[in-house]
Amino acid sequence: MSQHMNRRTTSAVLLLLLLESGLAYIVFNHTARDRTPTTTYLSEETVTCFDISNWGDALAVGTTDGTVSYYKKGKAVSQWVYKGGSEVHSVLVSDEGDYVLAMDLNHTVSLFRSLGVGVNTPRWSQRLQGGRVLAVHSSGGIPPIVYMLASVDGCILLFSDREGLLWEYSTGTSGVAAEISYDGKYMAAVDAEGRVYLFDVGEPSPVWASSTGVTDGVISLSQSSRVAVGGGDPSGGGRVLSLSLEDGEKLWEWGTASQVASVSMSSDGSKVVVYESEGRASVLTESVGEVAVRELSAAGRVESVWSPPFGSYAVALGSEGRVYFLYTSRSTPLWVYDAGADVVGIAVTSIGDKVFIADRGSVAVITNTAETGIIPGSRTLWGAWFLTGLAGLAVVYRVAGAEPRWLKPVKASYPILVSGLVIGGTLGFITYGGTLEVFTAAVSCAVGCYFGFRKESGGFVVGLFISVAGSLVASILHGLFVWFSGVESNVVFLVITSVSGGTQIGFVFGWLGISLGFLVTKFRGAR
């Protein structure tokens, strides 16, 4: 009979482990958690555009009434505002956040310093009829030179705040896309016919020009030695190419099913996040001359994609304003945020630690800690996994059919245990008020009451240490459940923090419980 029971117990344990492993695999790889903003910047007027610095500590917002507002280091109140007379349709922030470039519907380009307070005025302005601003870069010297990159039809224009127009280059086509390198030394451009140009910032003639053959091209500079170009293929579909920054030679190319609408190259040039006009997003990774492709997962059509140069992350805007934060080596997003139908734009910091999401009335910020991707998956489902594991252990115990000897006296003493829980929890709430304190106080007091009531079962000292052990278990459970609730922190750190506080409470309320249990025993003996 005993051998048969052991086999049944072993089978039940193995089945439980199999089910829990399968559930953990599904939660880890195929679920995402919902996120809420950590900071929200509210706007009195309708937001039309916004931009951030590389590290997200500077934010500029443009609105329909012509206002440009500048925010610094997460402060909800703007440091300065500029009130123009025409709707702002483009705003750019320099890498370090020290300059803001804005353009309104009257084609006036205005440059602002970040040092203003209250109502600000432009440091420099210029009419740019029919043009658009592409980039702003500060040289970082004393005093710095600020470069502003713009285009008018097929012409590339570079301005400085000191000299105005530095140079102009005509590509001879109807349109051009361009950007300035991270260090401000180079400028790369692609025209409507797919010809790519590299310029030294101070020179009006290209260092080299290379024909790619794509139409309506888009471009992205790496922080090292490559440039990515994408666009439509004249024969159908689209193409992505990686070119050498040194001479414009093609390093590799990849065909896509539809025209490429945006490309974002990683800092080392080995990865390109691609967005196609038909609503697909993918990651192209090159290693030893071989290109691998992974499609980014989002429910329904993808509207836009953003990717930081540092870190393996991407942010995708899906249908109905759903924002997906993706780890590019994982098939399912790490988290999802429901931004609503009025998304104006999204920006992500250089390392992906903050995501800014603008709608027509505000800009929401979601912070990603270093622990965001350590244990992916829905926090709620991880909690379900934990609870089903505990329930499974209870089922295994019932299958085994043998009650441990230590459980019988515990069951016989349930009135004193319940009394200890109530007294400890009440006093913990009155004294501390926090959930951790109440939980650990209740558990340690209940265990202390039990051992004080049954002093022959181990004595007061042993009872105290077991009370503390009970508070440790309660603290660990508290840390886990806080993490299950969605707090973005390291689960190990949460548990350690809970244990640190819970241990102190365990000593105090363990003694209290032992004393109460001993008094009850004496009172009963006296009667």
- What is the share, in percent, of the chain residues with pLDDT greater than 70? 84
| Overall average pLDDT of the 405-420 stretch | 64
Q: Which of residues 295, 322, 357 is at a domain's end?
A: 295
Residue 249 CB coordination number (10 Å)? 11
Position 271 in a domain: yes
Are residue 291 and residue 175 in the same domain, yes or no? yes
Position 504 in a domain: yes
Position 17 in a domain: no
Does the pLDDT of residue 104 top 90, yes or no? yes
Spatial strand order of the sheet with 226-232 comes to: 215-221, 226-232, 238-244, 250-256
> What is the pLDDT, as a whole number, of residue 321?
87
How much is the mean pLDDT over the chain? 84
Does the pLDDT of residue 128 top 60, yes or no? yes
| Overall average pLDDT of the 440-451 stretch | 74
Position 195 in a domain: yes
Place of tokens 């929890």: 425
| Cβ-Cβ contacts under 8 Å for 514 (sequence gap 6 or more) | 448, 449, 451, 452, 460, 463, 464, 467
CATH number for the domain including 280? 2.130.10.10
> What is the pLDDT, as a whole number, of residue 230?
95
Position 465 in a domain: yes
d(CA 258, CA 233): 8
Q: Which domain covers residue 194, as residue numbers?
A: 171-295
Q: Please count the structural domains in the chain.
A: 2
Contact between 474 and 460 (Cβ < 8 Å):
no
Q: Which of residues 279, 295, 311 is at a domain's end?
A: 295
> Among 32-46, 134-148, 243-257, 369-383, which is the least confidently predicted range?
369-383
Place of tokens 């043009």: 131
Does the pLDDT of residue 519 top 80, yes or no? no
d(CA 209, CA 358): 37
Position 213 in a domain: yes
Strands (DSSP E) contained in 319-370 are 322-327, 335-338, 343-348, 354-359, 362-367
Position 500 in a domain: yes
- At 13, the pLDDT band (50, 70, 90 cuts) reads confident
- How would you write 287-327 as a 3-class SS string? ECCEEEEEECCCCCCEEEEECCCCCCEEEEEEHHHEEEEEE
Q: Is the entire prediction scored with pTM above 0.85?
A: no
| Cβ-Cβ contacts under 8 Å for 166 (sequence gap 6 or more) | 147, 158, 159, 160, 202, 204
> What is the pLDDT, as a whole number, of residue 2?
52
Position 139 in a domain: no
Q: Which two tokens stand for residue 303?
A: 């509207």
> What is the pLDDT, as a whole number, of residue 457?
47
Decide which of 111 and 492 is more confident. 111
203-206, long-range: CB within 8 Å, 24+ apart, which pairs?
A: 203/167, 204/166, 204/167, 204/168, 204/169, 205/169, 206/169
Q: Which of residues 295, 324, 350 is at a domain's end?
A: 295
> What is the pLDDT, as a whole number, of residue 1?
45
